[in-house]
Amino acid sequence: MRVALIVVLAALLSLSACSSEPEPAPSPQASAPIIVPGRPGEVARTVGPSEAATLVPTPSPNAADVTYVQKMVVHHRQALDMAALAPTRGAHVRLKSLASRIKDSQGPEIQFMISWLQQQGLKAPEHHAEHDAMPGMASPEQMEALKAASGREFDRLFVQLMTAHHQGALKMSEQVLTSGSHIRIEELANDVSAGQSAEIRRMQEMLPEL
């Protein structure tokens, strides 16, 4: 009798162990807030999951990305036109070095942007495309004045026009970082902002010497 009772109790315990299921793992809260770091000089902010999903860059461009690239090609080309004058028209060694740096950085960026547009099935803008609405672009009259200047006069006018030109590029980059969606264009805009901000600082430091 005692042996039979032990066997029955063992069977019941075995069935009980088989029928019990492990506790389900806790799932993350879909409504948990997400901290989004701010850009340099900005504070972080808290957003919900639905908004956070729209803040992540994607491989797909939108209209803001395309507009930025098309305009920036023209914008960069004028910077190269200005920089090309410095070796023969400028006087200050540091200014000539800066112009060379602009050529070395913006030339490859133009090639990248043209290739990117072609990948999207789009053509690059013509070299002398309209640019009246672009911030920072020098007018035809200003470009003629720069071509006619030489020595210290050229240096001062170059710094004035190129500083405004770079500030316009920063504004355009800030706009696409807010409205664009393509990860490569976000990277480009960040590179443009960092590089041209540094060049603006160099030109401001150079002014007392001109």
Q: Is the pLDDT of residue 83 over 80?
A: yes
Is it true that domain 63-125+140-209 has CATH number 1.10.10.10? no
DSSP structure string for 90-114: ---HHHHHHHHHHHHHHHHHHHHHH
Domain spans of the chain? 63-125+140-209
Model confidence over 161-177: pLDDT tens digits?
999 999 999 999 999 99
Q: What is the pLDDT averaged over residues 5-31?
A: 45
What is the pLDDT, as a whole number, of residue 2?
Answer: 40
Residue 58 pairs in a beta bridge with 182
Using a pLDDT cut of 90, give the percent of the chain over it. 67
pTM over 0.75: no
Average pLDDT score over the chain: 82
pLDDT for position 131? 61
Identify the residue whose tokens are 């133009």: 110
Q: For residues 53 and 23, what is the distance between their CA atoms, to the nearest angstrom?
A: 31
Residue 13: which H helix or E strand, with range?
helix 2-19
Please determine, for residue 110, whether its predicted confidence score (pLDDT) is greater than 70: yes
Under 8 Å between Cβ of 135 and 168: yes
Q: Which pLDDT score, from 0 to 100, does residue 126 have?
A: 85
Per the model's pLDDT, the better-predicted residue between 48 and 63 turns out to be 63
